[in-house]
Structure 1
Amino acid sequence: MNSHRKPRTSSPLTQRAMRVGLFAAGVAGVATAVPAQAATAAPHAAVATDHVFTHADRAHHTQAKDSFTVRQYGAVKAAAVRNQANAVSAGCSADDACRSVALSFQVVTFAGERTHLNAVNISDAANKHCNGCQTLAGAYQFVVSTPTPFTFDTGTRRRLDDIHRRLDALTRSSLPATELRTRVEGLAGEVTAVLNDAVAKAPKSHTAKGEARPSVAMHRHLDGWPGH
């Protein structure tokens, strides 16, 4: 099989870039793969990046990695967050197939009223001369905005930690790519539910335009071989 790469489109599932005035907050720096990170002093601008990359070939038939990061930040005027997953399978055969899995879950919380947010979430899976290989890249970005800063309570952190553990187990599993996709999608739905429960307890505020309410937005993109 020749080198294959799914064609790129301008679909919002492939890349999300937003500049909006919403309840925001952030922190400068690159994320580390930790279950939760406490709020820090908020700068005027913030940058956060997560990237998971895997490359399977004849020397390393199975490569699987995941990241699950949680950041809770203070108010900023501008923030840029990026989440990316890339998986490559190269040079294997149908009789000796490769498996490459890259999964990145990114949770960020912002607080404030007039923050410009640029959020990018992308993934890409490629088979290069790799008949019968299984390649999956999944990027999930959860953006939580609240009127005023708040931190996840112990119960929320425990639930997110549990999802992280199950994501690790799925990543290490030998499930077929199609079933793995389904299971990962289920975990993403659980994260959204946990975050919605958390923001329901977050303080609300009143502005000139009315009551400001917390919100949760999920940006997702899955790419893989075999295809959908």
Structure 2
Amino acid sequence: MDNRTDGSLLARSNPAGAVDDGATVANQNIAYAHATCTGCRTVAVAVQIVIVEGSGTDFRPTNAAVAVNENCNSCQTFAFARQFVLTPHRRVQLSDQTWRKLAQLRQQMATESQSLEPFAQMDANLESLSQQMVAAVQADLQRSGDPGGEQGDHKVDERD
């Protein structure tokens, strides 16, 4: 996302889920915020939960949070990216209850990304919402018969 408008607030939140059923898990999750403006605020949020339904023996996921200020005066730029790779190694059908919970958390992330609170507080709030998303999916996996539950998970976490 690129903010070039002086005095503006530009925010984008993109929590997503992905299913990978191949041997190589190479999903990408990027939060990119770029500002070239005066007195502006730019926020990019990307949270991804990857569910590995296949054998998943080669893990190469990419997760990056990039915040760039270029020729800025009094601008604030923040990027938040979290990627979680869950490995039940079987077909998964999330419950309607879990989908509703994820939709609620996605909306809360969007609202949070547009807030004017300090970035340290925003980071803490987004981290909490991310953990709640993962917990909802993990609980559903356990209810539906995933014996590994939390032990089988790989977590890729990069802060910027």
Give the TM-score range, shorter chain: 0.7 to 0.9
Question: Shift in Å at residue 59 of structure 1?
Answer: 4.5
**1:84 aligned to 2:68?**
no
Kindly indicate which of the two structures has a greater share of residues assigned to helix: 2
% identical aligned pairs: 22
- Equivalent pair of 1:89/1:135 in contact (CA under 8 Å): yes
Q: 1:114 and 1:84, CA in 2 relative to 1: closer, same or farther beyond 3 A?
A: closer
Superposed CA deviations along residues 42-96 of structure 1, whole A, max 9, x for unmatched, are: xxxxxxxxxxxx22234572211111212335x323232010011112242xxxx
Picking from 132, 140, 148, the partner of 1:190 is: 132
> What's the TM-score, normalizing by structure 1?
0.62
Q: 1:111 and 1:189, CA in 2 relative to 1: closer, same or farther beyond 3 A?
A: same
Superposed CA deviations along residues 89-128 of structure 1, whole A, max 9, x for unmatched, are: 2242xxxx11010001112211234532321101111122
Q: Unaligned stretches of 5+ in structure 2? A: none
Aligned to 2:8: 61
Picking from 116, 128, 135, the partner of 2:77 is: 135
Aligned to 1:146: 88
Kindly indicate which of the two structures has a greater share of residues assigned to strand: 1
Q: 1:106 and 1:70, CA in 2 relative to 1: closer, same or farther beyond 3 A?
A: same
> What's the TM-score, normalizing by structure 2?
0.85
Q: 1:158 and 1:217, CA in 2 relative to 1: closer, same or farther beyond 3 A?
A: farther
Q: How far, CA to CA, are the matches of 2:128 and 2:60 in structure 1?
A: 26
The runs of at least 4 consecutive aligned structure 1 residues that moved more than 3 Å come to: 112-115
Q: Unaligned stretches of 5+ in structure 1? A: 1-53, 205-211, 224-228
Aligned to 2:154: 217
Aligned to 2:50: 108
Q: SS of the counterpart of 1:130?
A: coil
Over alpha carbons, which structure has the higher Rg? 1
